[in-house]
């Protein structure tokens, strides 16, 4: 089955700096990669996703890049703000299947 590894497990940045979270996946058939933000005690919220036919996608301060050859994808947050502090999860799935595999999560702390 799919295995998703996520790094780092914790990340602390100063407000205004950029944050990068990286994930690797094992199943080359995976072709949909969402990113979720989860605040303490709350549900995961989809913040951005990317499909395998695209190498990069951007939505305001958030961007995701995908390298299919290397089987890794990354989340980039620019101009970080304290409200970006949360746990971020990457995930991977192949659209022919139904099982979404999550990474272990990254606790992002943005210090004011």
Partner 1 sequence: GAVVSQHPSRVICKSGTSVKIECRSLDFQATTMFWYRQFPKQSLMLMATSNEGSKATYEQGVEKDKFLINHASLTLSTLTVTSAHPEDSSFYICSAREGGGRGSPLHFGNGTRLTVT
**Where do contacts with partner 1 occur on this chain (CB under 8 A)?**
31-32, 34, 36, 41-46, 49, 51, 89, 93-105, 107
Helix (H) or strand (E) holding 67: strand 62-67
With respect to partner 1, which residue has the nearer C-beta, 63 or 91?
Answer: 91
With respect to partner 1, which residue has the nearer C-beta, 56 or 104?
Answer: 104
100 contacts: CB under 8 Å, gap ≥ 6 = 34, 91, 92, 93
Work out how close the CB of 94 gets to partner 1 at its nearest, in angstroms, rounded to a whole number: 8
CA distance 110 to 27: 32
Work out how close the CB of 55 gets to partner 1 at its nearest, in angstroms, rounded to a whole number: 17
Q: How far is CA 109 from CA 34, 91, 106, in A?
A: 21, 21, 10
CA distance 41 to 17: 26
With respect to partner 1, which residue has the nearer C-beta, 29 or 112?
Answer: 29
Work out how close the CB of 46 gets to partner 1 at its nearest, in angstroms, rounded to a whole number: 5
- Coil, strand or helix: which one is 83? helix
Work out how close the CB of 4 gets to partner 1 at its nearest, in angstroms, rounded to a whole number: 9
With respect to partner 1, which residue has the nearer C-beta, 9 or 111?
Answer: 9
């Amino acid at each position: 089955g799919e295995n998703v590894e996520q790094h780092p497990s914790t990340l602390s940045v100063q407000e205004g700096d950029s944050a990068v979270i990286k994930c690797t996946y094992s199943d080359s058939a995976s072709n949909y990669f969402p990113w979720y933000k989860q605040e303490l005690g709350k549900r995961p919220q989809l913040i951005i996703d990317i499909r395998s036919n695209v190498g990069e996608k951007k939505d305001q301060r958030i961007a995701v890049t995908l390298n299919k050859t290397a089987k890794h994808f990354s989340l980039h947050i620019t101009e970080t703000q304290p409200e970006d502090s949360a746990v971020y999860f990457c995930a991977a799935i192949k659209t022919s299947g139904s099982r979404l595999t999550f990474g272990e999560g990254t606790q992002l702390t943005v210090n004011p």
